A and B are shown apart, each in its own frame.
Chain A
Amino acid sequence: MATEKVQVVEKILDANDQVASQTQTLLTGSGVFSINIMASPGAGKTSVILKTIEKLSGKMRIGVIEGDTAPVTIDADKVMAMGMPAVQINTGGQCHLDAMMIDRALKHIDYKALDLIIVENVGNLICPAAFKIGTHANVVISSVPEGDDKPYKYTNIYRGIDVLLINKIDLLPYLDFRMDYFQQGVEILNPGLTTFKVSCKTEEGFDQWIHWLSQQVDEFKNRIHA
Protein backbone atom coordinates (compact mmCIF):
# COMPACT_ATOMS: atom_id res chain seq x y z
CA MET A 1 0.00 0.00 0.00
CA ALA A 2 1.26 3.49 -0.83
CA THR A 3 2.19 5.61 2.14
CA GLU A 4 1.61 9.29 2.50
CA LYS A 5 3.66 11.86 4.37
CA VAL A 6 1.88 14.07 6.91
CA GLN A 7 3.70 17.21 8.04
CA VAL A 8 3.52 17.63 11.80
CA VAL A 9 6.27 19.98 13.06
CA GLU A 10 5.18 19.90 16.69
CA LYS A 11 7.47 20.30 19.67
CA ILE A 12 7.74 16.93 21.37
CA LEU A 13 6.94 18.27 24.83
CA ASP A 14 4.26 20.67 23.61
CA ALA A 15 1.49 19.06 25.70
CA ASN A 16 3.57 19.52 28.85
CA ASP A 17 4.43 23.10 27.89
CA GLN A 18 0.75 23.93 27.40
CA VAL A 19 -0.18 22.68 30.87
CA ALA A 20 2.80 24.63 32.25
CA SER A 21 1.54 27.76 30.56
CA GLN A 22 -1.96 27.24 32.04
CA THR A 23 -0.45 26.79 35.50
CA GLN A 24 1.46 30.03 35.16
CA THR A 25 -1.70 31.87 34.09
CA LEU A 26 -3.56 30.42 37.09
CA LEU A 27 -0.86 31.43 39.57
CA THR A 28 -0.45 34.87 38.04
CA GLY A 29 -4.23 35.40 38.24
CA SER A 30 -4.08 34.46 41.92
CA GLY A 31 -1.19 36.82 42.61
CA VAL A 32 1.22 34.04 43.59
CA PHE A 33 4.84 34.20 42.45
CA SER A 34 6.45 30.80 41.94
CA ILE A 35 9.96 29.46 41.57
CA ASN A 36 11.30 26.07 40.47
CA ILE A 37 14.45 24.95 42.25
CA MET A 38 16.61 22.48 40.36
CA ALA A 39 19.91 20.91 41.44
CA SER A 40 21.72 17.63 41.89
CA PRO A 41 20.91 15.47 44.91
CA GLY A 42 22.72 16.92 47.91
CA ALA A 43 23.34 20.39 46.47
CA GLY A 44 21.34 21.89 49.32
CA LYS A 45 17.90 22.50 47.80
CA THR A 46 16.01 21.78 51.01
CA SER A 47 18.51 23.69 53.16
CA VAL A 48 18.24 26.75 50.92
CA ILE A 49 14.44 26.53 51.00
CA LEU A 50 14.32 26.24 54.80
CA LYS A 51 16.76 29.11 55.24
CA THR A 52 14.78 31.20 52.75
CA ILE A 53 11.54 30.52 54.66
CA GLU A 54 13.27 31.45 57.92
CA LYS A 55 14.52 34.75 56.46
CA LEU A 56 11.17 35.63 54.92
CA SER A 57 8.87 34.49 57.71
CA GLY A 58 6.58 37.29 58.81
CA LYS A 59 7.20 39.08 55.51
CA MET A 60 5.39 36.79 53.12
CA ARG A 61 3.28 33.65 53.04
CA ILE A 62 5.18 30.80 51.44
CA GLY A 63 4.08 27.32 50.34
CA VAL A 64 6.35 24.53 49.16
CA ILE A 65 5.80 21.73 46.66
CA GLU A 66 8.32 18.98 47.26
CA GLY A 67 9.25 16.55 44.50
CA ASP A 68 10.88 13.25 45.32
CA THR A 69 11.26 9.98 43.48
CA ALA A 70 10.51 7.92 46.58
CA PRO A 71 7.44 7.83 48.83
CA VAL A 72 8.99 9.88 51.63
CA THR A 73 7.81 13.07 53.28
CA ILE A 74 11.11 14.05 54.94
CA ASP A 75 11.37 17.40 53.12
CA ALA A 76 7.69 18.33 53.36
CA ASP A 77 7.75 17.53 57.08
CA LYS A 78 10.65 19.94 57.61
CA VAL A 79 8.75 22.73 55.85
CA MET A 80 5.56 22.08 57.80
CA ALA A 81 7.55 22.06 61.03
CA MET A 82 8.32 25.72 60.20
CA GLY A 83 4.60 26.44 60.00
CA MET A 84 4.37 26.68 56.21
CA PRO A 85 2.07 24.56 54.02
CA ALA A 86 3.75 21.88 51.93
CA VAL A 87 2.66 19.24 49.43
CA GLN A 88 4.78 16.21 48.71
CA ILE A 89 4.79 14.80 45.19
CA ASN A 90 6.15 11.28 44.86
CA THR A 91 7.05 10.80 41.22
CA GLY A 92 7.18 7.02 41.56
CA GLY A 93 10.72 6.73 40.31
CA GLN A 94 10.41 9.37 37.60
CA CYS A 95 13.48 11.59 37.49
CA HIS A 96 11.75 14.97 37.16
CA LEU A 97 8.58 16.90 37.91
CA ASP A 98 6.34 17.68 34.96
CA ALA A 99 3.59 20.24 34.46
CA MET A 100 0.78 17.75 35.13
CA MET A 101 2.21 16.89 38.57
CA ILE A 102 2.25 20.56 39.59
CA ASP A 103 -1.28 20.99 38.28
CA ARG A 104 -2.40 18.12 40.56
CA ALA A 105 -0.33 19.32 43.55
CA LEU A 106 -1.98 22.75 43.41
CA LYS A 107 -5.31 21.09 44.24
CA HIS A 108 -3.84 20.16 47.63
CA ILE A 109 -2.56 23.55 48.69
CA ASP A 110 -4.45 26.78 49.34
CA TYR A 111 -2.26 28.66 46.88
CA LYS A 112 -4.56 31.69 46.74
CA ALA A 113 -3.57 32.48 50.32
CA LEU A 114 0.15 32.58 49.42
CA ASP A 115 2.61 35.14 48.10
CA LEU A 116 5.25 32.67 46.99
CA ILE A 117 5.32 29.00 45.98
CA ILE A 118 8.67 27.26 46.00
CA VAL A 119 8.85 24.02 44.03
CA GLU A 120 11.69 21.70 44.91
CA ASN A 121 12.33 19.59 41.83
CA VAL A 122 13.74 16.06 41.90
CA GLY A 123 17.50 16.05 42.48
CA ASN A 124 18.86 15.65 38.95
CA LEU A 125 20.82 17.84 36.51
CA ILE A 126 19.43 16.38 33.29
CA CYS A 127 15.71 15.61 33.22
CA PRO A 128 14.20 18.63 35.04
CA ALA A 129 15.80 20.91 32.43
CA ALA A 130 13.57 19.47 29.71
CA PHE A 131 10.22 19.88 31.47
CA LYS A 132 8.70 23.29 32.09
CA ILE A 133 6.42 23.25 35.11
CA GLY A 134 4.90 26.73 34.82
CA THR A 135 6.79 28.63 37.50
CA HIS A 136 7.64 32.31 37.01
CA ALA A 137 11.34 31.83 37.64
CA ASN A 138 13.72 28.92 37.35
CA VAL A 139 16.54 28.56 39.83
CA VAL A 140 19.56 26.26 39.82
CA ILE A 141 21.61 25.56 42.92
CA SER A 142 25.14 24.32 42.26
CA SER A 143 27.23 23.38 45.26
CA VAL A 144 30.99 23.66 45.13
CA PRO A 145 31.75 20.06 46.24
CA GLU A 146 30.11 18.89 42.98
CA GLY A 147 33.08 20.26 41.04
CA ASP A 148 33.70 23.16 38.69
CA ASP A 149 33.11 21.22 35.47
CA LYS A 150 29.34 20.85 35.81
CA PRO A 151 28.35 23.58 33.31
CA TYR A 152 30.53 21.90 30.69
CA LYS A 153 28.93 18.49 31.19
CA TYR A 154 25.32 19.34 32.04
CA THR A 155 24.73 22.18 29.62
CA ASN A 156 20.93 22.15 29.47
CA ILE A 157 20.21 22.80 33.13
CA TYR A 158 21.96 26.20 32.96
CA ARG A 159 20.03 27.31 29.86
CA GLY A 160 16.80 29.23 30.36
CA ILE A 161 17.19 29.73 34.11
CA ASP A 162 16.77 33.11 35.80
CA VAL A 163 19.09 32.83 38.75
CA LEU A 164 21.94 30.62 39.95
CA LEU A 165 22.95 30.00 43.54
CA ILE A 166 26.47 28.69 44.12
CA ASN A 167 26.04 26.99 47.47
CA LYS A 168 28.36 25.73 50.24
CA ILE A 169 30.97 28.43 49.57
CA ASP A 170 32.18 27.99 53.16
CA LEU A 171 33.85 24.81 51.81
CA LEU A 172 35.89 26.62 49.14
CA PRO A 173 39.14 26.67 51.20
CA TYR A 174 39.08 22.86 51.32
CA LEU A 175 38.36 22.25 47.63
CA ASP A 176 40.06 22.78 44.26
CA PHE A 177 36.95 24.45 42.86
CA ARG A 178 37.98 27.03 40.22
CA MET A 179 35.24 29.66 40.45
CA ASP A 180 36.42 31.44 37.26
CA TYR A 181 36.30 28.24 35.22
CA PHE A 182 32.84 27.36 36.55
CA GLN A 183 31.43 30.81 35.85
CA GLN A 184 33.03 30.90 32.39
CA GLY A 185 31.01 27.80 31.46
CA VAL A 186 27.81 29.30 32.83
CA GLU A 187 28.46 32.53 30.91
CA ILE A 188 28.51 30.64 27.58
CA LEU A 189 25.22 28.93 28.37
CA ASN A 190 23.41 31.84 29.96
CA PRO A 191 25.16 35.20 29.43
CA GLY A 192 24.78 37.69 32.26
CA LEU A 193 22.95 35.23 34.53
CA THR A 194 22.16 36.63 38.00
CA THR A 195 24.34 34.63 40.39
CA PHE A 196 24.61 34.54 44.19
CA LYS A 197 27.37 32.79 46.10
CA VAL A 198 25.86 31.51 49.32
CA SER A 199 26.33 29.28 52.32
CA CYS A 200 23.42 27.94 54.35
CA LYS A 201 25.86 27.20 57.13
CA THR A 202 27.41 30.67 57.56
CA GLU A 203 24.53 32.55 55.83
CA GLU A 204 27.10 34.34 53.70
CA GLY A 205 25.47 35.80 50.58
CA PHE A 206 21.99 34.99 51.81
CA ASP A 207 20.90 38.59 52.26
CA GLN A 208 21.56 39.27 48.57
CA TRP A 209 19.55 36.23 47.49
CA ILE A 210 16.68 37.13 49.80
CA HIS A 211 16.77 40.71 48.55
CA TRP A 212 16.62 39.52 44.95
CA LEU A 213 13.76 37.11 45.66
CA SER A 214 11.73 39.71 47.61
CA GLN A 215 12.25 42.16 44.80
CA GLN A 216 10.98 39.61 42.25
CA VAL A 217 7.84 39.02 44.32
CA ASP A 218 7.25 42.77 44.75
CA GLU A 219 7.79 43.54 41.07
CA PHE A 220 5.48 40.67 40.13
CA LYS A 221 2.73 42.01 42.42
CA ASN A 222 3.17 45.52 41.06
CA ARG A 223 2.95 44.22 37.50
CA ILE A 224 -0.28 42.29 38.02
CA HIS A 225 -1.90 45.12 39.96
CA ALA A 226 -0.85 47.73 37.42
Chain B
Amino acid sequence: MHELAVTESILQIAEKHAHQANASKVTDIFLVIGNLSSIVDDSVVFYWEMISKGTVCEDSVIHFNRLPATLYCLVCDHTFEIPGELIPCPNCGSYQLKIQSGEEFFLESIEIER
Protein backbone atom coordinates (compact mmCIF):
# COMPACT_ATOMS: atom_id res chain seq x y z
CA MET B 1 0.00 0.00 0.00
CA HIS B 2 2.37 2.71 -1.16
CA GLU B 3 -0.32 4.29 -3.34
CA LEU B 4 -0.57 7.45 -1.22
CA ALA B 5 3.14 8.22 -1.72
CA VAL B 6 2.83 7.44 -5.42
CA THR B 7 -0.29 9.62 -5.78
CA GLU B 8 1.48 12.51 -4.03
CA SER B 9 4.30 12.23 -6.57
CA ILE B 10 1.81 12.27 -9.44
CA LEU B 11 0.28 15.46 -8.01
CA GLN B 12 3.69 17.13 -7.65
CA ILE B 13 4.64 16.34 -11.25
CA ALA B 14 1.24 17.43 -12.62
CA GLU B 15 1.30 20.70 -10.65
CA LYS B 16 4.83 21.49 -11.83
CA HIS B 17 3.95 21.00 -15.49
CA ALA B 18 0.60 22.81 -15.14
CA HIS B 19 2.43 25.80 -13.66
CA GLN B 20 5.04 25.79 -16.45
CA ALA B 21 2.26 25.78 -19.05
CA ASN B 22 0.32 28.58 -17.29
CA ALA B 23 -2.68 26.30 -16.85
CA SER B 24 -5.71 27.50 -14.91
CA LYS B 25 -6.95 23.95 -14.57
CA VAL B 26 -5.82 20.39 -15.23
CA THR B 27 -8.64 18.25 -16.63
CA ASP B 28 -6.94 14.92 -17.32
CA ILE B 29 -3.87 12.98 -16.23
CA PHE B 30 -2.48 10.19 -18.39
CA LEU B 31 -0.35 7.53 -16.69
CA VAL B 32 1.51 4.63 -18.27
CA ILE B 33 1.94 1.71 -15.89
CA GLY B 34 3.30 -1.74 -16.68
CA ASN B 35 1.50 -4.69 -15.13
CA LEU B 36 4.59 -5.68 -13.14
CA SER B 37 4.29 -2.46 -11.12
CA SER B 38 2.43 -3.28 -7.94
CA ILE B 39 -0.02 -0.38 -7.98
CA VAL B 40 -3.76 -0.59 -7.41
CA ASP B 41 -5.52 1.84 -9.78
CA ASP B 42 -8.59 2.25 -7.57
CA SER B 43 -6.45 3.26 -4.59
CA VAL B 44 -4.66 5.90 -6.65
CA VAL B 45 -8.03 7.32 -7.76
CA PHE B 46 -9.29 7.26 -4.17
CA TYR B 47 -6.27 9.22 -2.89
CA TRP B 48 -6.31 11.49 -5.95
CA GLU B 49 -9.77 12.81 -5.17
CA MET B 50 -8.63 13.55 -1.63
CA ILE B 51 -5.27 15.19 -2.21
CA SER B 52 -6.04 17.10 -5.44
CA LYS B 53 -8.80 19.13 -3.71
CA GLY B 54 -7.92 22.81 -3.69
CA THR B 55 -5.15 22.36 -6.26
CA VAL B 56 -5.04 23.11 -9.97
CA CYS B 57 -5.77 19.39 -10.46
CA GLU B 58 -9.08 19.36 -8.55
CA ASP B 59 -11.78 17.33 -10.36
CA SER B 60 -9.32 16.05 -12.96
CA VAL B 61 -9.62 12.48 -14.21
CA ILE B 62 -6.75 9.98 -14.05
CA HIS B 63 -6.42 7.63 -17.01
CA PHE B 64 -4.38 4.44 -16.67
CA ASN B 65 -2.74 3.04 -19.76
CA ARG B 66 -1.87 -0.42 -18.46
CA LEU B 67 0.85 -2.15 -20.47
CA PRO B 68 1.11 -5.93 -20.46
CA ALA B 69 3.91 -7.76 -18.68
CA THR B 70 5.56 -9.92 -21.31
CA LEU B 71 8.17 -12.63 -20.95
CA TYR B 72 10.39 -14.16 -23.58
CA CYS B 73 11.22 -17.87 -23.44
CA LEU B 74 14.93 -18.54 -23.99
CA VAL B 75 14.22 -22.17 -24.90
CA CYS B 76 11.49 -21.96 -27.57
CA ASP B 77 11.53 -18.24 -28.52
CA HIS B 78 7.89 -17.87 -27.46
CA THR B 79 6.76 -14.45 -26.15
CA PHE B 80 3.83 -14.43 -23.76
CA GLU B 81 1.89 -12.23 -21.39
CA ILE B 82 1.65 -12.92 -17.67
CA PRO B 83 -1.01 -11.78 -15.21
CA GLY B 84 1.62 -10.32 -12.81
CA GLU B 85 2.56 -13.60 -11.20
CA LEU B 86 5.43 -15.50 -12.83
CA ILE B 87 4.39 -18.59 -14.76
CA PRO B 88 6.44 -21.02 -16.85
CA CYS B 89 6.37 -20.77 -20.66
CA PRO B 90 2.85 -21.90 -21.71
CA ASN B 91 4.36 -23.31 -24.91
CA CYS B 92 7.16 -25.51 -23.57
CA GLY B 93 6.97 -25.30 -19.76
CA SER B 94 10.44 -23.81 -19.40
CA TYR B 95 11.44 -21.44 -16.60
CA GLN B 96 14.32 -20.01 -18.61
CA LEU B 97 12.59 -16.71 -19.21
CA LYS B 98 13.49 -13.10 -19.66
CA ILE B 99 11.28 -10.14 -18.75
CA GLN B 100 10.61 -7.98 -21.81
CA SER B 101 8.16 -5.36 -20.58
CA GLY B 102 5.80 -4.49 -17.77
CA GLU B 103 7.92 -2.23 -15.56
CA GLU B 104 6.82 1.09 -17.09
CA PHE B 105 5.84 3.66 -14.48
CA PHE B 106 5.52 7.25 -15.71
CA LEU B 107 3.25 10.24 -16.19
CA GLU B 108 2.91 10.63 -19.95
CA SER B 109 0.89 13.84 -20.33
CA ILE B 110 -1.70 16.13 -18.82
CA GLU B 111 -4.60 17.97 -20.39
CA ILE B 112 -5.03 21.57 -19.30
CA GLU B 113 -7.20 24.66 -19.67
CA ARG B 114 -5.58 28.07 -19.71
Q: Which residues of A contact B (CB under 8 A)?
A: 1-16, 94-96, 98, 126-127, 129-131, 151-153, 155-156, 159, 184-185, 187-189, 191
Contact = CB atoms under 8 A, between A and B. Distances in A.
A152 B9 contact: no
Chain B interface SS verdict (over half): mixed
Interface of B: 1-2, 4-6, 9-10, 12-14, 17-18, 21, 23, 27-28, 31, 36-38, 71, 84-87, 95-99, 103, 105-114
Contacts of A152: 85-87
A153 B12 contact: no
Q: Which of A6, A94, A95, A189 has the most CB of B within 10 A?
A: A6
A56 to B, nearest CB: 32
B111 A4 contact: yes
A126 B1 CA distance: 8
Given A16-B9, A126-B38, A130-B2, A8 B95 contact: no
A5 B10 CA distance: 16
A189 to B, nearest CB: 7
A9 B106 CA distance: 6
A185 B86 contact: yes
Contact of A10 (B1, B6, B13, B23): B13
